[in-house]
């Protein structure tokens, strides 16, 4: 018999390494054609950090995103940024890149104030122009950079950021493990075939507090991928060991969800500004798959009355618990 | 991977001659989706591989004198895209469609799937309920068997060293017949059958009286088996919900008897009821609507 159910899973998750310093740094240089070079140690492993960090630098300098050239994760030339892990790069390298861009920006602002004969505090950089707030005074970035060339000024910046954490007390584990936290809720709808143990995840609605969505498309991609991974984690993926060796080390026997197993995923981006994040942003990478399995297990309970505390809930586990629990 | 001699003959007669004349451990390469993996994993170490990919005359699906004939080099994709199979032998369409992924179905052949003799083969249970015959050719002549009679255990067949399976054929089921396939895999695609069932039910014209029933189970024994005592539950009676429930219980008993005392037994004992009930109910509904 096919039974359907709905379940909810919620989570909070610390951004960055736990109770440890984990700084990142970045270098920025603005060129006379209004382009910029960004050097960051942050490894883009497909999540899109090169894009997000370039967006942050472009926003800070008032130049076009397309004109920010990123060199990343090259130990020969890029500064330390720590690992692409712990959902930390948008938050930590994002801040480092923002600070590096701000230092370069200050050079441009100082020069603009000089040329426009106004207060530095009133200078805005936007759309490759420098404006004086509340006046019609302005000068193009190209002109500013031409003047830099003439005066021998290099428009460069460096920046670093280390989240405000403390080591944890060895006995009590008290301390400040993370500078900020991500929050999320997933709602899953499942169909359970109670005779065969087949469980189909039909839909996942996934709401994530990301602080500020620097790149909404990338965040939706992260959430969709996370939901798929979380659903496989709940129902299928399992590392099998024999005498300490993994017996299913290949994708032919360590099974992942295929395109045919994918549920409908509805990502919802919640923007609750994080004051310490770059433009209010924080991480979403790992949070995207954390509430999925609890939501699915709750949905199975809602559908069938069977409460599972082990994952994955394979067809066997479902059948054995449902039909044979008194045999044990 | 150890070196081997490789032949790619352009027609079946040439292939049969080569197969008959070469010495050593020789293997036929059809689609290669099982053979190449076995070589790669060093489960087999052939000295000669004869690739049938260039044999133009072994890839066909045709209707002839009330029979459907399928060349052994037809791929799973060829089978599932055949309107003839879809209309006249839905069970074979469904079983072939459930196998692997589009990429694997583009390569894997129906002949190779039979000869590989996997316990979890998808095509063989379907061919068994269609009462299919296979044609084995060699330089010395032709032999014909029912498909299940050439299977002799896991990855074992009774083919002679110089024989190639060239054709699968079966009588087209009557208009009063419904057929179907259901398998249980670990996921929706790219999964090997944990258990499977193929079924054919023929009724007397304009009644629900069962004239003939054939049920085959996959992945419960070394090769797929016919569930004859479950078929007997249906034959000669009016198909009803009650009869289906009785039949499902017998199918489960047959599975239990064949599986033996394995860790998967409790799971399979139960889940085979699920897939059997679902399939038989579906065929029952189809008979009603016909």
- Pair A10, A31 in one domain: no
Cis, bond preceding A312 (omega within 30 deg of 0): yes
pLDDT value of position B249: 98
Structure tokens at B168: 């699968």
Given B108, B139, B171, the domain boundary residue is: B171
pLDDT at B1 exceeding the cut of 80: no
- pLDDT recorded at residue B94: 98
**Taking CB atoms and an 8 Å limit, are B267 and A259 in contact across chains?**
no
Q: Model confidence at B47, in pLDDT bands (50, 70, 90)? A: very high
- Confirm if B224 and B154 have CB atoms less than 8 A apart: no
Residues B217, B256 within the same domain: yes
| Best B38, B104, B190, B268 residue to mutate vs chain A (most A CBs within 10 Å) | B190
Are B44 and B27 in the same domain? yes
B192 assigned to some structural domain = yes
Strand partners, B70: B61, B168
Q: Is residue A121 part of a domain?
A: yes
Range of the domain at B140: 61-171
In angstroms, the separation between the Cα of residue A85 and the nearest Cα of chain B is: 29
Indicate whether B92 and B130 sit together in one domain: yes
| Mutation for testing the B interface, residue in A2, A3, A196 having most B CBs under 10 Å | A196
Which tens digit of pLDDT belongs to each residue from A303-328? 999 999 999 999 999 999 999 876 55
Which residue, of A132, A161, A190, is where some domain finishes? A161
**Does A196 contact B184 at a Cβ distance shorter than 8 Å?**
yes
Q: Tell me the average pLDDT across B274-283.
A: 98
DSSP classification of residue A120? G
Print the domain residue range for A42: 17-161
- Pick from A195, A260, A323: which is nearest to B188 by CB? A260
Q: Are residues A125 and A259 in the same domain?
A: no
- Is residue A80 less than 8 Å (CB to CB) from chain B? no
B2 confidence band (pLDDT: 50, 70, 90):
confident
Alpha helices by DSSP H, chain A = 49-61, 89-116, 141-151, 216-235, 292-304, 315-324
B139 CA: distance to closest CA in chain A (Å): 39
Q: Is the dihedral of CA B33, B38, B39, B40 positive or negative?
A: positive
Digit-coded pLDDT (tens) for B48-107: 999 999 998 899 999 999 999 999 999 999 999 999 999 999 999 999 999 999 999 999
A146 shares a domain with A220: no
Report the chain A residue with the minimal C-alpha distance to residue B271.
Answer: A196
Q: H or E element: which one contains B104?
A: helix B102-107
Query: For residue B108, what are its two tokens?
Result: 């894997």
CATH of the domain at A122: 3.30.365.10
Of B190, B264, B274, the CB nearest to A258: B190
On whether both A122 and A184 belong to a single domain, the answer is no
Q: Pick the residue from chain B with its C-alpha nearest to A321.
A: B267
Contacts of B278 in chain A (CB under 8 A): 195-196
Please tell me if residue A162 touches chain B, with a CB cutoff of 8 Å: no
Any B CB within 8 A of A160 CB: no
- Residue B56 placed within a domain: no
Residue A103: CB atoms within 10 A of its CB come to 16
Question: ipTM of the predicted structure?
Answer: 0.91
* CATH classification at residue B228: 3.30.390.50
Q: Considering only residues 244 to 263 of chain A, which have any Cβ-Cβ distance to chain B shorter than 8 Å?
A: 255, 257-261
Decide if B148 is inside a domain. Answer: yes
A271 is catalytic: no
Kindly give, in sequence order, each residue whose CB lies less than 8 Å from that of residue A97, ignoring residues fewer than 6 positions away: A26, A28, A38, A40, A53, A56, A57, A159, A278
Same domain, residue pair A48 and A138 = yes
Name chain A contacts of B274, Cβ cutoff 8 Å: 193-197
Query: Same structural domain for residues A142 and A81?
Result: yes
| Per-residue model confidence (pLDDT) at position B201 | 98
In the predicted model, residues of chain A with pLDDT beneath 50 are: none
Determine contact: B194 vs chain A, CB below 8 A: yes
Q: Is the minimum CB–CB distance between A193 and chain B shorter than 8 Å?
A: yes
State how far residue A194 is from chain B, nearest Cα, in angstroms.
8
pTM, two decimal places:
0.93
Q: Is the pLDDT of residue B187 over 80?
A: yes
Which of B194, B264, B271 has the CB atom closest to A195's CB atom?
Answer: B271
Q: CA dist B259 to A265, B40, B126, B222, B255, Å?
A: 39, 30, 20, 9, 6
Domain count for chain A? 2
Averaged pLDDT of chain B? 96
pLDDT on residue A327:
57
């Amino acid at each position: 018999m096919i039974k359907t159910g709905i379940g909810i899973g919620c989570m909070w998750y610390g951004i960055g390494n736990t109770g440890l310093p984990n700084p990142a740094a970045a270098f920025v240089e603005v060129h006379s054609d209004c382009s910029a070079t960004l050097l960051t140690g942050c490894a883009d492993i497909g999540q899109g950090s090169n894009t997000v960090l370039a967006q942050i630098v472009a926003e800070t300098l008032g130049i076009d995103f397309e004109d920010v050239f990123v060199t990343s994760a090259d130990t020969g030339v890029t500064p330390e940024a720590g690992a692409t892990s712990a959902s930390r790069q948008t938050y930590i390298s994002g801040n480092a890149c923002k600070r590096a861009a701000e230092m370069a920006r200050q050079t441009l602002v100082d020069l603009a104030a000089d040329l426009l004969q106004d207060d530095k505090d009133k200078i805005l950089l936007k759309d490759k122009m420098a404006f004086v707030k509340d006046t019609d005074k302005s000068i193009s970035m190209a002109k500013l950079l031409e003047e830099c060339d003439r005066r021998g000024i290099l428009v460069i910046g460096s920046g670093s950021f280390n989240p405000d954490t403390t080591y944890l007390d060895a006995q009590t584990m008290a301390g400040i493990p993370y500078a900020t936290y991500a929050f999320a809720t997933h709602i899953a709808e499942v169909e359970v075939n109670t005779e065969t143990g087949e469980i189909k995840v039909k839909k996942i609605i996934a709401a994530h507090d990301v602080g500020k969505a620097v790149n909404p498309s990338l965040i939706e991609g992260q959430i969709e991928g996370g939901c798929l991974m979380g659903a496989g984690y709940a129902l299928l993926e399992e590392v099998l060991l024999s005498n300490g060796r993994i017996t299913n080390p290949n994708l032919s026997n360590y099974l992942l969800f295929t395109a045919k197993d994918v549920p409908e995923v509805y990502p919802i981006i919640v923007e609750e500004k994080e004051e310490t994040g770059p433009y209010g942003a924080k991480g979403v990478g790992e949070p995207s798959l954390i509430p999925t399995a609890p939501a699915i297990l709750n949905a199975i309970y809602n559908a069938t009355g069977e409460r599972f505390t082990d994952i994955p809930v394979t067809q066997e586990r479902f059948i054995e618990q449902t039909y044979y629990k008194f045999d044990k | 991977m150890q070196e081997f001699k490789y032949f790619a003959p352009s027609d079946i007669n040439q292939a049969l001659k080569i197969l008959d004349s070469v010495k050593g451990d020789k293997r036929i390469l059809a689609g290669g989706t099982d053979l190449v993996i076995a070589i790669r994993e060093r489960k087999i170490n052939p000295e000669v591989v004869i690739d049938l990919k260039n044999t133009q005359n072994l890839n066909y699906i045709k209707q002839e004198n009330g029979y459907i004939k399928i060349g052994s080099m037809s791929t799973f994709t060829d089978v599932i895209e055949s309107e003839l199979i879809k209309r006249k032998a839905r069970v074979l369409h469904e079983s072939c469609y459930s196998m692997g992924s589009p990429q694997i179905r583009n390569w894997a052949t129906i002949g190779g799937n039979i000869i590989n003799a996997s316990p979890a083969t998808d095509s063989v249970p379907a061919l068994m309920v269609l009462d299919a015959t296979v044609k084995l050719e060699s330089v010395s002549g032709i032999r014909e068997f029912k498909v299940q009679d050439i299977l002799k255990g896991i990855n074992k067949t009774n083919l002679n060293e110089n024989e190639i399976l060239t054709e699968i054929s079966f009588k087209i089921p009557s208009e009063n017949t419904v057929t179907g396939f259901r398998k249980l895999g670990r996921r929706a695609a790219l999964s090997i059958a944990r258990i499977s069932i193929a079924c054919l039910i023929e009724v007397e014209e304009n009644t629900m009286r069962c004239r003939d029933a054939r049920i085959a189970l996959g992945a419960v024994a070394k090769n797929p088996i016919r569930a004859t005592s479950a078929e007997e539950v249906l034959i000669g009676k009016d198909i009803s919900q009650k009869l289906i429930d009785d039949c499902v219980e017998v199918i489960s008993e047959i599975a239990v008897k064949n599986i033996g005392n394995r860790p998967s037994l409790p799971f399979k004992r139960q889940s085979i009821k699920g897939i059997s009930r679902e399939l038989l109910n579906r065929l029952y509904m189809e008979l009603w609507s016909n």
